[in-house]
Structure formats: C-alpha cells, structure tokens
Structure 1
Amino acid sequence: MEDKLCFVILNYKQSEYVISNVKRILKIYPRSSIVVIDNNSSDGSLENITHEFMENTNVKIYGNEENTGYAKGNNLGVQKAKEAFNPEYVAIMNPDVELIDDELVPKILKAFENHPDLALCSGVMLNNKRKLDYTKIAWKVPDKLDDVILNIPFLGSRLSPIRYTEYSVQDSGLAFVDVIPGSFFVVRLKHFKSPNIFDDGTFLYCEERILGHIIKKKGLRTGLVMTNFYLHNHSYNKIPGLRQTLLTYSRLVQSRIYYNMKYNSWPKIIVIPPLYLSSLVGFLLAIIGWPVKVTIRYAHSNERR
C-alpha cells in the first residue's frame, strides 16, 4: 500500500531537516512519493532541497510565493500531491519530525485497511528528549466554554477540559480519539470531497482541532497506533523574548476565536464575550509570567554549572 501514499512536507527555513527526512523516507518506504512545499523561506531552502532531489521522479518540490502558514501551505501540498501522484493516502509531516520506527507507517496503513470509517491516523509522538507526554498525543474536540479555560495560562494546563485521562486500546493497538497533533499523521483522501483538507482560515494553531471536529461531524473516526512512535524534534528549551511570546499567544487566541466563531455548538453571544475576556486575562498573565520563567530558567542554568 506504500505506493498509494504520498508524504507532504511543508518547509520554512528547515532545509536540513527536510533533506534528511526525504532521504530516510526514500530508504524505508521506497514505493511512496514525496511533495515538498517551501513556504517562501529566505535562507535558500528551496534551492538547497531542489538541488538535492532534482533528479528523483518520486520527489516533487514547489516554492510558495508567500508564507501562507500551516493550513494553506499543507493544502497546497495535498493539491500538488493529487496532481503529480494521485495517492489514496497523504502523510502530513513537519520537517522536524523523525520517523524512528520503520513499522509505524505500515501499521497506520493496516489500520486504514481494517477500519473503513477511519479518516485520520498517526502514531504516538515523543518529544525531542524521547519522552512521552500523554496529554499531548491526543485530546478532545473543544466545545462550549472550553477555550475560556484554555486561554488562561497555568489554569488551562492544570484544569484542561479537553484532556484524556485514559485511552481505550484495542487488541490491534489502535485507540480512537478526537484530535491528534498536526506534526505527523496520515489522512485517507476519499473522505474529503473538498480540494482542501484543512480550513485555511488560520495561519497557525487549531488546525488539528478543526480537522478533528470535521471528521467527527462526518461520522468518521481518528485513530492512534499506541504501539509505535515518532519523534518530534521541536525544541522547548529556549524561552522566546517577550515580544515573540506575545505574538505567539496572539496567534493562538486569534485561531481559537476563529474556531469558536465557526464551529462551537453554543450560540456566539454566550461563547465569544467570555472568550475575549479570558484572552485579555491570558495576555496579562503572559506578560507577568514571562520574567518569572526567564528568572527560573537562569537559576536552573546556573545550578547546572
């Protein structure tokens, strides 16, 4: 079934990761195809990747004219995959994901074969320290006033209303969940009649929950292969500056507002006012909390010396 699978990798200034991943995919899944979209990197990424694979017919590389974000960039990748390879399945893969388990993709494809209503499937994500955080491998689709709580730092992480407290795992090792991380997953294309998989109303954040909501509403399912893993090399060690911290939080809040305006089951007049209020509280706590985080990190670094 690997010949029916196309990997889509969306790059932004991470060409070294992309080149390494494409080489590994070609080695362990030689019958699959690959589409790389460069999201208007300014560091020569497109040229580097193109030079590396320009003679490989199983790899297609395209440059985006602007950085359109996660949803639009990956939608373009899926469209190009359909045009070039006409796959049955597409694997959405971040550049900083490492496929450390050769059996993961075959098991995902087997899960699709065994479950016709399975629309989306992935393995268990490990962080860059190869540690497993069960709160981040899957979560419930947010609804009602969930994001009012999630908007507030510290409170949302401790009282998360969308967290799974346990997973029901079948004999095959598959667990059915609402939402899985957007860093890596495989999608069965026939369940999506629209040219796009993602709602492109967001730039970054909340794409996974929107996809999970759409799949659930269609009466389809999302699966997690609990016996196999992949590595997400996203670094959480460095604390960004205050400006970047607030920009990141702003994008997160904007995406949550968009999601609740379009997908929340409750009336907007009930949901949106407290959502804006919690966003304001979240901004204030982010400003207050930033120097505290920096101080604690500095103290810990001095202790290690």
Structure 2
Amino acid sequence: MSISKVGIVILNYMTYELTIKCLASLNEIAYDNFFVVVVDNSSPNDSYAKIKDYVNKNIFSYEIYLTKSERNGGYSYGNNIGVQKAEAIGADYVLIMNNDIIIPDKEFLSKITDFLDKNKDTAIAGPGIIQKKGMIELPLLISRIKPYNYIINNLFYPFVIFLNKIAKKRIQNLQTPLKVYAVSGCCFVIRTKIFNEIGYFDDNIFLYGEEYILGEKLYKRGYGVYFLPNLHIIHNHSVTIGSVYDSKKITRMQIKSHEYYLKHYRNDISYIMRSLMVYSDYFREKVYVPVITIAKKMINIVKK
C-alpha cells in the first residue's frame, strides 16, 4: 500500500457549509498520510470565520491548514495558494478537490496513489465522476484539440450531444485506465514535483479552461494524464458554480478561457484558424444554447 504523503487542497468561496460537510466526510478516508489545506478565496461573507470556528471546535483524523487569499482571483489563483502550501508541508501528491465532492470509497487515496506510484511517467490521475442519474461522466477531453474537429463540433452541437450520450453509455463498462488529454478540475491527483515544474495553474484564467492548459503543459513535456473509470466520486456541480453565476455568465467565461488557451498555448494553430474556433464558440452560444435551454425547460414542465 502506498505511503506517499498527500495534500488535499479545497477551495472555498462563500459556500462554507459545503466545505464543513466536506471536511467532516474526509474523516472516513482510510489513509494514514494525508492533510488538508483549505483556502478561502476572499469570500465576501463570513466563510473564513465559520470554517475556522468549526475546525477549532472539532477533532479530525488528519491535519487541517486554513488560509485566506487576499483577493478572489478565481479557481487557479486560489488553488495555487493551496498547492504551494501543500508543497511546503511536503506533499508528494496534491489532490485538487471541490468542496461539493463526495468520496464514497474509503480506499480512494490508497488506490489512486498506488496507480501513480506504479506509473512514474504519469502526472495526473482523475477518477470517474458521477453527476447525474448515477452514471459516470465522460473524461473532459480524451485527445488534444484539433481545429477542424473543434469547429465542426460547435456547428453541429446537437448532434455532438447525441453522440456523447452514446459514448457515455459505453464508458460505463470501462474498467481499465484510459490515457486522456485532460481530466475534470473538480477532482484529480497530481505529482507535486511536476506541478511545480510546469508552473502550477495559469492564474490568468479566472474560471474554466484550466484543465486544457494543464493538459497542454503536460502533453508538451511528455507526461501522462489518466482517467480511472473504476474509481468513483460524486460531484454536485450546480451547487457551487450555479449558486454564484447564471448560465449566460458561465458560458461567456468558458469561451473567454478557451480563447486564452488557444492564444497562449496553441501557437501550432494559425491565427485565422484560432479565430474561427472562437467564432464557432459564439455561434454555438447564440444559436444552440438558447434553444437547448428552452427545450429542457419544456421537458421538465411536461414531466411535472
């Protein structure tokens, strides 16, 4: 069994109730060598005080380090603070974990660190993520983004949704690790030494697209990123993001982040092609997203 030291980084923004619940649940993890760093990302409410009070009044099976950022610089900025703190404490691996994650498997850390210990060229391992209907979500991105595929996917977005549903059903039976380009940023484990080598997260990104940048950095250095479908976590995605931003704001942030990724990390793609890719994002947002949103509302009304 792995004895590698793991630092779990949890970023909090306003949702202290979720963070407290998450800290309590981690008492069930059967692993003797981990600690937790909680970073409050300059929440405008009393999150920091609430979490601090909870930590001081309760006993945990692990060490907790609580800190607060000077400003809300977004996902990458806040997590970088936690990662560097975990690195200073001596973590061999860092588990980036949203506060709305549930880890049902008590052996989760043992299994995921054992995989990394046995695969030295692998930088990241990400679990299968269950969000809706008890099904495992597809890996964030299996292969590196190709310009023509990217544009076609946006232009024929409804068809892509249909194909993804088929792929999602097939992946439920996958048991072996799958090499991918990027895993979801809500929960993954990365080697601390490699995280330092690639300069951590790019904190010029406020929210969304961090995983693409991370995947590209690792791709260029020849490190592996693996999706572990037989190791599951549960993610209530809408709780944290949906409570702060509306769907239009989220979509625009996603597009801006993808544009940044293309401009600063994909110089192998021509300027004209990058521009077309971004325009195709806006096409998808303006044409398909409103129609799909209305369709979902109509379906929900009919079901009621």
Give TM-score scaled by structure 2 length.
0.84
Is residue 41 of structure 2 the alignment partner of residue 39 of structure 1?
A: yes
Q: Where does residue 226 of structure 1 map in the other structure?
A: 229
Structure 1 residues 110-153: Cα deviation after superposition (integer angstroms, max 9, x where no partner): 111111111101221111442223x3465222133444345454
Deviation of 1:46 (Å):
1.1
Q: Counterparts of 1:122 and 1:52 in 2: how far apart (Å)?
A: 29
Aligned residues: percent identity?
26
Partner SS for 1:54: helix
Q: Where does residue 248 of structure 1 map in the other structure?
A: 250
Equivalent position to 2:106, from 102, 124, 127? 102
| Equivalent residue letter for 1:256 | H
Which has the larger displacement, 34-43 or 146-155?
Answer: 146-155
Q: Where does residue 81 of structure 1 map in the other structure?
A: 86
Q: Where does residue 209 of structure 1 map in the other structure?
A: 212
Q: Where does residue 273 of structure 1 map in the other structure?
A: 275
Q: Map of 1:82-161 to 2, 5 A cutoff?
A: 82-83=87-88, 85-133=89-137, 135-136=138-139, 138-152=141-155, 153-154=157-158, 157-158=161-162
Q: Counterparts of 2:13 and 2:269 in 1: how far apart (Å)?
A: 38
| Equivalent residue letter for 1:76 | I
Cα distance, 1:127–1:164 mapped onto 2, change above 3 Å: closer
Q: Counterparts of 1:239 and 1:52 in 2: how far apart (Å)?
A: 25
Q: Counterparts of 1:184 and 1:146 in 2: how far apart (Å)?
A: 27
| Equivalent residue letter for 2:25 | R
Q: How many residues align?
A: 294
Cα distance, 1:215–1:5 mapped onto 2, change above 3 Å: same
Structure 1 residues 257-292: Cα deviation after superposition (integer angstroms, max 9, x where no partner): 111112225343232231243233233215742xx6
> Which 4+ residue blocks in structure 1 deviate beyond 6 angstroms?
163-167
| Equivalent residue letter for 2:49 | E
Is residue 70 of structure 2 the alignment partner of residue 65 of structure 1?
A: yes
Structure 1: gaps spanning 5 or more residues: none
Give TM-score scaled by structure 1 length.
0.83
Cα distance, 1:164–1:299 mapped onto 2, change above 3 Å: closer
Structure 2: gaps spanning 5 or more residues: none
- RMSD in angstroms over aligned alpha carbons? 3.2
Q: Counterparts of 2:236 and 2:258 in 1: how far apart (Å)?
A: 25
Q: Where does residue 257 of structure 1 map in the other structure?
A: 259
From the two aligned structures, give the one with the greater helix fraction: 2
Q: Map of 1:9-28 to 2, 5 A cutoff?
A: 9-28=10-29
| Equivalent residue letter for 2:293 | K
Is residue 205 of structure 2 the alignment partner of residue 198 of structure 1?
A: no
| Equivalent residue letter for 2:22 | N
Which has the larger displacement, 123-132 or 263-272?
Answer: 263-272
| Equivalent residue letter for 2:73 | T
